[in-house]
Chains A and B, each alone.
Chain A
Amino acid sequence: MKSTKRKAYLAVGAASIGLLGALSIWARPPFTDAQLADQQQQLLDVVNKGRDLWHGSNPQMSGNGLACGNCHPDAAASNPQSFPKWVSEIGSVAPMRDMINWCIVHPQGGQALDPDGSDMIALEAYAFYLYRGQKIEPGLAVPTPPDPVKSGVGYPHKGSGIGFDK
């Protein structure tokens, strides 16, 4: 009886040691700083592509010369943090990419993008990046402007320090 019990313990111990050994082989090592920096750069490259698209780099997106940036400088009033939400222009609860395509087709008079294509991903990346840190709030009715200067993206101009009497 004792011998059987001992064998069972040995078997469990051996299995545990084997499992730990296997895990040590299979486990992914942590990302290195260089890898993390590369991943962030990959994101920023797409964000920058999105900024260019937002300002008219793809002629397919406009039939009348207008780009997203005409009405939404710094992606203002695009409110990516509020999607999905009811979009009256579309008549359903829709993700941001559907609203982007609505703007491309209607105010801009262009051709809709592939909703899963790289251009659409870049446009969304640009808008979401400018709104990073904003509270996710689907259906938000009141627009929340981005503050890209404070958030570190963009290029603040130093003002002349006037304008408000206190």
Chain B
Amino acid sequence: MANETDVTRRRFLGLAGKAGLATFAARAIGVNTGLIEVLSAATKSGMQPFSFAIITDSHLFSADNHRFDRALADAVNQVNALTPAVDFVMYTGDIAQNGREDQLLKGKKILSALKAPLKVIPGEHDWYLDMGKVWNGLFGKETWSFDHKGVHFIGLNSILVRDFWSGTGMTPLERMSTMEMLESPVAGPWGVRDAQLEFLRKDVKRLGASTPVVIFTHSPLWDYYPRWNFQTEDAPQIREILSKFDHVTSLHGHVHQTVYNKFGNMSSAGSLSTSWPWPYPPVKLDYPGSQMNQSDPANTKDGMGTQSVSFDASGATATYEPFANSLTPFLKDGLKV
């Protein structure tokens, strides 16, 4: 749970309330009248406040002592220093830059310094050199769910593309290089695909409508900017499956920037990376206050950082924890929702 007396911390998703929205995850915590034992047991006795942290998009290269290695280590230290301590840490993809084993191993080693348990989903930079073989070996299954203190958490692999390499003579390295280019014309849109949609259907079937649900994907579950794969092709199906819930919180990586959106029963927030910030695409958003300041290229920490999300009986609050002074006053002074 975030320290609410610390005025230096930025409460990002408070902007939702400031913008006149009802709340972000306003109904995330409540009496569970649903069907699942573990959730009803937790919520009947009242909400036990907790928080978790998000680290994402470290894009580690193979070179020793690369500045991105230090940035990830800084993120680990920042998360370890959060007070109260987080219950777990979520990593939402792109540990590596080129999907190489040494890069993934280096990331795992740096992340092993986290005091809290780590949950991970992959990004495209982790995956397309060997189609996730090393990643799976190091981090386990990429599709999962668990319940924690009355909240249902889901992780999906959203970077699956249609086969563009078979029959082209493309080497694994060429396939990886193709996926590395954000605006690549070749790879096409990402998605979670049928098997994970089926997993999701079965996974949430047992849950009641009031169950707070948090879903993690690498890419956003809305059409932010499809050209840069700031989208997930089968997000409409995901949202349909999750439509029975009062409120769903979608948290994603990939965009390397602060961004917020709300649609239907879903609130969505992007995460700061630890590697580099991306400029905002030519998209007009309904929440202009959700954009951070243009980053200073001479400041290697500007526009980067981590996030923390706190749950208590009044709802959920996501807070950006930038390495440098990157946030607008609107983001810094956002309200608790």
Question: Which residues of chain B from 185 to 227 have any CB-CB distance to chain A below 8 Å in the complex?
Answer: 185, 188-189, 220, 222-224, 226-227
Q: Which residues of B contact A70 (CB under 8 A)?
A: 276
In the complex, what residues of B have CB within 8 A of residue A148's CB? 183, 227
Residues of B within 8 A of A103 (CB): 297
Most chain B CB atoms below 10 A, which of A69, A146, A147, A157: A157
- Chain B: which residue is nearest A79 at the CB level? B279
As a 0/1 sequence over residues 243 to 272 of chain B, the CB contacts with chain A under 8 angstroms (1 = contact) are 000000000000000000111100000000
A164 is an interface residue with CB less than 8 A from chain B: yes
User: Residues of B within 8 Å of A, CB-based: how many?
Assistant: 43
Tell me the nearest residue of chain B to A99, going by C-beta.
B297
CB under 8 Å from chain B, chain A span 139-156: 143, 145-149, 154-156
Residue A106 lies at the interface, judged by CB distance under 8 Å to chain B: yes
Q: Does A55 contact B (CB under 8 A)?
A: yes
Contact indicator B185/A106 (Cβ below 8 Å): no
Task: Determine the distance from Cα of A33 to Cα of B239 in the docked complex, in whole angstroms.
Answer: 52
Contact A159 B63, CB 8 Å, known A77-B294, A145-B282: no
Check if A163 sits within 8 Å of B224, measured CB to CB. yes
Interface centre among B234, B297, B298 (most CB of A within 10 A): B297
Q: How far is the CB of B301 from chain A (nearest CB, A)?
A: 12
Interface 1/0 per residue, B161-191 and A, CB below 8 Å:
0000000000000000000011101001100
Whether the Cβ atoms of A64 and B222 lie closer than 8 Å is no
A160 touches B263 (CB 8 A): no
> Please, which residues of chain B bring their CB within 8 A of the CB of A157?
188-189, 226-227, 229, 231
Tell me whether B227 and A154 are in contact (CB under 8 A).
yes
Contact (Cβ within 8 A) B282 A159? no
Of A64, A154, A160, which is within 8 A of B63 by CB?
A: A64
CB < 8 Å neighbour of B297 from A71, A149, A164: A71
Contact of A163 among B61, B189, B228, B263 (CB under 8 A): B263
Complex contacts, B314 vs chain A, CB 8 Å: none
Contact yes or no, B261 A163, CB < 8 A: yes
B-chain residues with CB within 8 Å of residue A159 when the two chains form the complex: 189, 223, 226, 231
- Bound CA span A71–B278, Å: 6
Q: Are B264 and A165 in contact (CB under 8 A)?
A: yes
Residue A13 CB within 8 A of the other chain: no
State how many angstroms separate the Cβ of A134 from the closest Cβ of chain B. 11
B300 beta carbon closer than 8 Å to chain A: yes
Which of B181, B226, B286, B298 interacts with A106 by CB under 8 Å?
B298
Interface centre among A76, A145, A163 (most CB of B within 10 A): A163
B297 x A156 contact (CB < 8 A) = no
Q: Which residues of B contact A165 (CB under 8 A)?
A: 262-264
Q: Mark A68-99, 1 if CB is under 8 A from B, else 0.
A: 01111110110000000000110000000000
Q: Does B233 contact A (CB under 8 A)?
A: yes
B109 CB within 8 Å of chain A: no
**Given contacts A65-B63, A74-B183, A157-B188, is CB(A162)–CB(B236) below 8 Å?**
yes
Q: Please tell me if A107 contacts chain B, counting CB pairs below 8 Å.
A: yes
Would A161 and B236 count as touching, CB distance under 8 A? yes
Closest to A150 in B: B282
Contacts of B108 in A (CB 8 A): none
- Which of A55, A76, A155, A158 is in CB contact (< 8 Å) with B185? A155
Q: Does B280 contact A (CB under 8 A)?
A: yes
B13 within 8 A of A: no
Q: How far is the CB of B268 from chain A (nearest CB, A)?
A: 9
Interface centre among A73, A107, A143, A156 (most CB of B within 10 A): A73
Closest chain B residue, CB of each to CB of A156: B227
Q: Which of B97, B183, B262 has the most CB of A within 10 A?
A: B183
B235 touches which of A88, A158, A160 (Cβ 8 Å): A160
**Docked pose: A65 CA to B228 CA in angstroms:** 20
Residues of B within 8 A of A76 (CB): 278-279, 281
Q: List residues of chain B with CB within 8 A of the CB of A89.
A: 297-298
* B227-A149 in contact (CB<8A): yes
Q: Interface centre among B185, B226, B279, by most A CB within 10 Å?
A: B279
A76, A158, A160 interface centre (most CB from chain B within 10 Å):
A160
What 7 A-B pairs have minimum CB-CB distances, sorted nearest first?
A163-B222, A155-B185, A77-B279, A159-B223, A159-B226, A163-B223, A157-B226
Sample 18 A-B pairs with CB under 8 A, ordered by A number.
A65-B62, A65-B97, A66-B276, A69-B181, A71-B276, A71-B278, A71-B279, A74-B228, A77-B294, A107-B297, A145-B279, A146-B282, A157-B226, A159-B226, A160-B232, A160-B233, A163-B220, A163-B261
With A69-B183, A165-B263 given, name 6 new contacts (CB 8 A).
A65-B61, A69-B181, A77-B279, A106-B298, A154-B185, A163-B220
